[in-house]
Amino acid sequence: MPNLKKIISISFLIIAVSSFTYAAEKYDTAALRTVQKLCTSCHGTPFFMAKQIDDDDWEFFFDTPGKLEKIHKDKPEALTSLKSSLFKKRKKRLLKFFIDNSKFSGAVNGCDANFCGTNH
């Protein structure tokens, strides 16, 4: 019997850790926090911002050199954010976050510890 309890306990532990890992992979929290820090003052919450356009548009804006800067040319705060080392370091992660949560992605995120609602 003690062996059975050990097997059940280990199985439960494995299932619990697996479910936490799956929940943590729902979206990139580092990208979410970066968008919150750099973009929300103008664009609203990260998921609201991501839903404004589809994945092809996000790729176009991020992959066309100078396109983001051109769009934000009259917004000094935005240009400062785009030139920041944080944005440059996480640019690929931000693009993936926006694509994963874009207009036609099918992602519907609800409230969690990082985000709730679409108030902007």
Over residues 48-82, the pLDDT tens digits come to 899 999 999 999 999 999 999 999 999 999 999 99
On whether the pTM is more than 0.85, the answer is no
pLDDT given at position 28 = 83
- Work out the pLDDT band at 2, boundaries 50, 70, 90: low
Q: Are 103 and 21 in contact (CB under 8 A)?
A: no
Mean pLDDT value of segment 5-27: 68
Distances from the Cα of 101 to the Cα of 4, 7, 49, 69, 90, angstroms: 44, 39, 9, 22, 16
Write down the domain spans for the chain: 28-100
Q: Are 75 and 42 in contact (CB under 8 A)?
A: yes
pLDDT given at position 20 = 53
b/e map 45-66, b = 16+ CB within 10 Å: bbbbbbbeeebeebeeebeeee
